[in-house]
Amino acid sequence: MSEGATVPESAFIEVDRVEKVFDVRRRTGFLQRELRRVRAVDAISFTVARGEMVGYIGPNGAGKSTTIKMLTGILTPSGGRLRVAGIDPSRERTRLAHRIGVVFGQRTTLWWDLPLIDSYRLMHRMYRIPDGRYRENLDRLVELLDLSALLEVPVRQLSLGQRMRGDIAAALLHDPEVLYLDEPTIGLDVVSKARVREFLRELNTERGTTVLLTTHDLQDIEQLCSRVMVIDHGRLVYDGALAGLHEAGESERTLVVDLERELPPVEVGEAARVVKVDGPRQWLAFPASESAAPLVARIAAEYPLVDLSVREPDIEAVIARMYQDRETARETVVQAPGNS
Amino acid sequence: MGSARLYATVAAGGFRRYATYRVATAAGVFTNTVFGLILVYTYLALWDERPHLGGYDQAQAVTYVWLGQALFATLAIQGGGFETELMERIRTGEVAIDLYRPADLQAWWLAGDLGRALFQLLGRGVLPFVFGALFFPTALPHDPVIWAAFAVTIGLAMVVSFGIRFLVALSGFWLMDGTGAVQVLMVTGMFFSGMALPLNAFPQPLGDIVTLLPWSALLQMPADVLMGRTDPLFAFVFQAGWAVVLLAVGRLVQGAATRRVVVQGG
């Protein structure tokens, strides 16, 4: 059954110029409605190969969840072509459901009032998992996610981290070929996060499950994904290796200087700009591609320098800059003339 | 059939979910018994003044009261089943999870609600009814065939009750806030099901009208079958007819709601 579709291994998930346009009606007065057309996803194209683990990031409202919903088939694209394992998700949602797993960090698929094991028995029936395979998978997931002590505990009594592990197991009992994770580490403490990440890494390397991970936590991406896609205002603004983000984001390094006393912002011309002053300490931003040496030499020569340090750009700052640049570049709400 | 096993599991889950709340169940039994007492004494006073009101003698009126208390939670006559939960899931967008599952939304919630109803019949319904039968003169049949027919009418009433509440819950896809719909459900449920006063005691022509509405399939039909006032076959046809109509309308509305979500987002 699972070999039904003939998909080239190179493109397990195919997204070709996919768009999603929402019509938002807003009351502007008595009996007056304004119709706004919001492009939540704007002609996005990408492919994900079988066994890849891809990070999908972007600010709130960028279109991440909309993309995930289209990939699961609960939203129909307004345009473009979408295939997951050769299946058109919105047309054959139920058939696809047997081959994908979904975890929503802020929502649970588990039965709130009942012991965890009851939800798993339900998955057993819902996905029609053969008995032997169900038991095998359950045993494996219970061991890997350390759930044995929790199986008889009602879900409402689980901590957030425990519940998340329970949800991940529920999504994997039917051996999905691809797992979509929407914010799997949101709200978790450091230990729980590490545990979830470790599990996902193993799942991907040992079982070859394709993983598409949506997150705000860039550590998730740094620790798990070799490839990252950045979406903003419904458009894919970056798709590539994590390392390449720095160049794409025109990232800057920061030189932190401690002067002898409080002074007006340091003047070094085009080489760097002061981004922050706090007493005798000043922060200077300069392009990551430039060497820090001439800048340090110049400041040491012209100012009473006591101490200094250079900070590498962290990915978080790089992405924040990426979002900001685009924010100022364009406001993308298209006014539609229609009324209806 | 694979899906029969799925929905049996969902129904069992619905049963067990309610079974976990033992204190709530005990409180419910107590409340229904107290309400039963209040209503019984009110009815007895009323039937003293108006003997054979609606064609019931005093024992039949008393039986009707205790039956109403037994079925109150079972049939969620004034709401209180799955519908608030489903509306909340619609409001928060969690219904998206239900939609991507390889299961039918209506069948899923029907199965879960039947499980709940069965638990509440056994856990909350039986005790007040037995209490009433022990301490008051009641009009109960001796013929096991009538009891069997009565059991069937309760099963059908559960489906009709679900059909009504499923429509109320789906209104959440169009309404920002479902509080109003739930309140309408509560008031109509109390009035049209005959929870306050048996439908046959209603003045005409209102009485004729309310006996045709789906709510009369909830309490009035099982009561009349139990007390031998209605042909069971007629009751079955009437209840099944409403069940089919309500489920079919529910299916249409569900289709429209799903299309709306699928095209327009949650």
Segments making up each domain of chain A, as ranges: 13-246, 252-312
Residue type for position A102: V
Q: Give CA–CA dist B40/B113, Å, rounded.
A: 29
Mean pLDDT over A193-213 rounds to 91
- For residue B266, the model assigns a pLDDT of 45
Q: Give CA–CA dist A222/A240, Å, rounded.
A: 13
Asked if B255 has any chain A CB less than 8 Å from its own CB, the reply is: no
- In this predicted structure, the answer to whether residue A314 has a pLDDT above a threshold of 70 is no
Evaluate whether A137 touches A129 at the Cβ level (below 8 Å): yes
- For residue B261, the model assigns a pLDDT of 78
Confidence label for A334 from pLDDT (cuts 50, 70 and 90) = very low
Q: Taking the CB of residue A102, how many other CB atoms lie within 10 A of it?
A: 26
Higher pLDDT, A335 or A200: A200
Q: Give CA–CA dist B184/B189, Å, rounded.
A: 8
Q: Taking the CB of residue B249, how many other CB atoms lie within 10 A of it?
A: 14
Q: Give CA–CA dist B139/B137, Å, rounded.
A: 7
Q: Which chain A residue shows the shortest CA-CA distance from B101?
A: A97
Contact at CB, B264 and A74, closer than 8 angstroms: no
Contacts of B133 (CB under 8 A, 6+ apart): B66, B140
**Which residues of chain B does A114 touch, with a Cβ-Cβ cutoff of 8 Å?**
13, 16-17, 20
Asked if B176 has any chain A CB less than 8 Å from its own CB, the reply is: no
In CATH, what class is A13-246?
A: alpha beta
**Which residues of chain B does A107 touch, with a Cβ-Cβ cutoff of 8 Å?**
94, 96-97
Contact at CB, B101 and A128, closer than 8 angstroms: no
Q: Taking the CB of residue B159, how many other CB atoms lie within 10 A of it?
A: 20
Using the 8-state DSSP alphabet, how is residue A1 labeled? -
Note the pLDDT tens digit of each residue in A142-160: 998 999 999 999 999 999 8
- In this predicted structure, the answer to whether residue A254 has a pLDDT above a threshold of 80 is yes
SS3 track for chain B: CHHHHHHHHHHHHHHHHHHCCHHHHHHHHHHHHHHHHHHHHHHHHHHHHCCCHHHCCHHHHHHHHHHHHHHHHHCCECECCCHHHHHHHHHHCCHHHHHHCCCCHHHHHHHHHHHHHHHHHHHHHHHHHHHHHHHCCCCCCCCHHHHHHHHHHHHHHHHHHHHHHHHHHHHHHCCCCCHHHHHHHHHHHHHHCCCCCCHHHCCCCHHHHHCCCHHHHCCHHHHHHHCCCCCHHHHHHHHHHHHHHHHHHHHHHHHHHHHHHHHHCC
Q: Give CA–CA dist B157/A173, Å, rounded.
A: 37
Q: Give CA–CA dist B15/A177, Å, rounded.
A: 33
Higher pLDDT, B209 or A7: B209
Higher pLDDT, A260 or B97: A260
Alpha helices in A112-225 (DSSP H): 116-126, 131-144, 160-172, 190-207, 218-224
Q: Which of A69, A126, A154 has the CB atom closest to B96's CB atom?
A: A69
Q: Taking the CB of residue B244, how many other CB atoms lie within 10 A of it?
A: 13
Confidence label for A310 from pLDDT (cuts 50, 70 and 90) = confident
- In this predicted structure, the answer to whether residue A312 has a pLDDT above a threshold of 90 is no
Sign of CA dihedral B109, B110, B112, B117: positive
Q: How far is CA A85 from CA A11, A89, A130, A194, B77, in A?
A: 8, 9, 22, 30, 47
Q: Taking the CB of residue B132, how many other CB atoms lie within 10 A of it?
A: 22
Share the mean pLDDT of chain A: 84
Asked if B99 has any chain A CB less than 8 Å from its own CB, the reply is: yes
- Counting beta carbons within 10 angstroms of the beta carbon of residue A82, is it exposed (0 to 12), middle (13 to 18) or buried (19 or more)? buried
Q: Give CA–CA dist A142/A134, Å, rounded.
A: 12
